[in-house]
């Protein structure tokens, strides 16, 4: 009976013909990710993207090897991952090996292999560097979760060294709200994922080194984001109805230093409060009120997050999402603000800042 394929076996012929001659170190807190590649162009793109985090020195080192090549043709019985709620396209397929997992991106042909300390990206990396960024960031997320953090589907900002986690049901605009709050001089912590853990002095929130991806409507209504959009795009999108702008799939990377100034991306800080967006696109007035999560478990789906395909379980029976009780036990008596009613980003930003200043320790 033939042996089951392994990461080492699948990668051996690729590595033999792809000399690894380029390297980039990026550091998130005490974690340095060492990215090695056969492509100078890819390393240059990643260095520009991670410019706030370039450099080594982390106590924990995570290796990632990215091979620029055509889409690899691994002869494996891939299983297609079901669509996420609200999504229209099938995007990923996966296959589990004895020593890890292979994930194939169906739309781009990029393949990721990871397990037992090995992390590889193979395929058209330069054209899909955002997927390589996500893979690198997922290595950091996994490490934080294995250290005891819980994963939140949320954005994060901070003022005066105290952080606010901004969550919301799908399409609520949490990133847009975080960037609106940034106009008031706050720091940026994270765009779409926050890891929360308990330290000696209370809760700590840790973000992901990913630039916000914003739609044209967000850019048009936030003057600080002007650098991301050309004048031609500005004219074209300004002519569209507001409702149509909201649902556009077009996205821009908003680099924090370009839009808000250097030194504004802080990846970790004490967590002082949690915001849950529950508003609707209607004409009702926006409301903001403090709530007790133990009495409002209906709000918890807004921030509880599955760890996803890129997490290596040590125990296959482990659930992919922590329980409500686990989140409640972690958060304890953390202040929580519910924002309801109609959508009003300007008013919500002011409510969030007032809330943060009240609860900041």
The yes-or-no verdict on residue 282 having pLDDT over 90 is no
Distance between CA atoms of residues 221 and 236, nearest Å = 15
Of 33, 32, 273, 258, which Cα lies nearest the Cα of 132? 33
Find the mean pLDDT for residues 269-282: 95
Query: What would the pLDDT profile of 216-257 be if each residue is shown by its tens digit?
Result: 999 999 999 999 999 999 999 999 987 788 778 889 999 999
Percent of the chain with pLDDT over 90: 86
Amino acid 2: pLDDT: 60
Helices then strands (H, E): number in the chain? 10, 19
Q: Residue 261: CB partners within 8 Å, gap ≥ 6?
A: none
Of 23, 25, 31, which Cα lies nearest the Cα of 60? 31
The yes-or-no verdict on residue 278 having pLDDT over 80 is yes
As a whole number, the mean pLDDT across the chain is 94
Counting every residue, how long is the chain? Answer: 361
Query: What would the pLDDT profile of 45-98 be if each residue is shown by its tens digit?
Result: 999 999 999 999 999 999 999 999 999 999 999 999 887 665 567 899 999 999
Amino acid 315: pLDDT: 84
Pairing relation of β-strands 252-253 and 213-214? antiparallel
Distances (CA, A) of 72 to 55, 108, 114, 311: 31, 11, 15, 22
3-class secondary-structure state, position 15: helix
Distance between CA atoms of residues 199 and 341, nearest Å = 35
Amino acid 1: pLDDT: 43
**Which two tokens mark 164?**
């606010």
| Count of other CB atoms within 10 angstroms of residue 119 | 25
If one compares 315 and 197, the residue with the highest pLDDT of the two is 197
Query: What would the pLDDT profile of 93-129 be if each residue is shown by its tens digit?
Result: 999 999 999 999 999 999 999 999 999 999 999 999 9
Amino acid 84: pLDDT: 66
Q: What residues form DSSP beta bridges with 111?
A: 104, 122
Find the mean pLDDT for residues 266-272: 97
Q: What values do phi and psi take at 32, rounded to 5?
A: -105, 125
Find the mean pLDDT for residues 303-318: 92
Q: Residue 293: CB partners within 8 Å, gap ≥ 6?
A: 299, 300, 328, 331, 336
The yes-or-no verdict on residue 138 having pLDDT over 70 is yes
**Which two tokens mark 239?**
């002519």
pTM: 0.95
Distance between CA atoms of residues 46 and 178, nearest Å = 24
Q: How far is CA 28 from the centre of its chain?
A: 14
Find the mean pLDDT for residues 132-157: 97
The yes-or-no verdict on residue 156 having pLDDT over 90 is yes
DSSP state letter for 280:
B
């Amino acid at each position: 009976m033939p042996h089951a394929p392994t990461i080492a076996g699948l990668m051996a012929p690729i590595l033999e013909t792809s000399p690894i001659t380029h390297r980039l170190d990026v550091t998130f807190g005490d974690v340095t990710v060492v990215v090695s590649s056969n492509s100078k162009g890819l390393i240059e793109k990643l260095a520009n993207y991670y410019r706030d985090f370039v450099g080594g020195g982390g106590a924990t080192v995570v290796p990632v090897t990215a091979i620029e090549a055509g889409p690899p043709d691994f002869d494996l019985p891939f299983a297609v991952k079901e669509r996420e709620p609200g999504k229209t396209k099938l995007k990923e397929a996966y296959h589990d090996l004895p020593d890890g997992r292979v994930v194939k991106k169906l739309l781009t042909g990029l393949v990721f292999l990871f397990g037992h300390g090995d992390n590889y990206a193979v395929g058209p990396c330069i054209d899909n560097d955002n997927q390589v960024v996500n893979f690198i960031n997922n290595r950091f997320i996994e490490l934080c979760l294995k250290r005891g953090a819980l994963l939140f589907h949320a954005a994060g900002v901070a003022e005066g060294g105290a952080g606010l986690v901004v969550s919301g049901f799908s399409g609520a605009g949490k990133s847009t709200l975080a960037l609106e709050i940034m106009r008031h001089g706050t720091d940026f912590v994270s765009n779409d994922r926050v890891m929360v853990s308990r330290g000696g002095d209370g809760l700590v929130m840790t973000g992901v080194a990913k630039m916000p991806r914003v739609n044209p409507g967000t850019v048009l209504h936030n003057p600080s984001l002007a650098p991301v959009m050309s004048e031609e795009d500005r004219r074209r999108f300004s002519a569209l109805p507001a409702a149509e702008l909201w649902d556009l799939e077009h996205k821009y990377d908003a680099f924090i230093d370009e839009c808000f100034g250097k030194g504004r991306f802080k990846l970790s800080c004490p967590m002082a409060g949690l915001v849950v967006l529950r508003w609707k696109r209607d004409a009702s007035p926006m409301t903001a009120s403090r709530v007790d999560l133990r009495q409002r478990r209906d709000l918890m789906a807004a921030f509880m997050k599955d760890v996803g395909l890129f997490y290596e379980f040590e125990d296959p029976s482990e659930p992919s999402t922590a329980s409500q009780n686990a989140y409640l036990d972690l958060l304890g008596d953390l202040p929580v603000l519910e924002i309801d009613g109609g959508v009003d980003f300007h008013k919500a930003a002011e409510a969030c800042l007032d809330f943060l200043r009240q609860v900041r320790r």
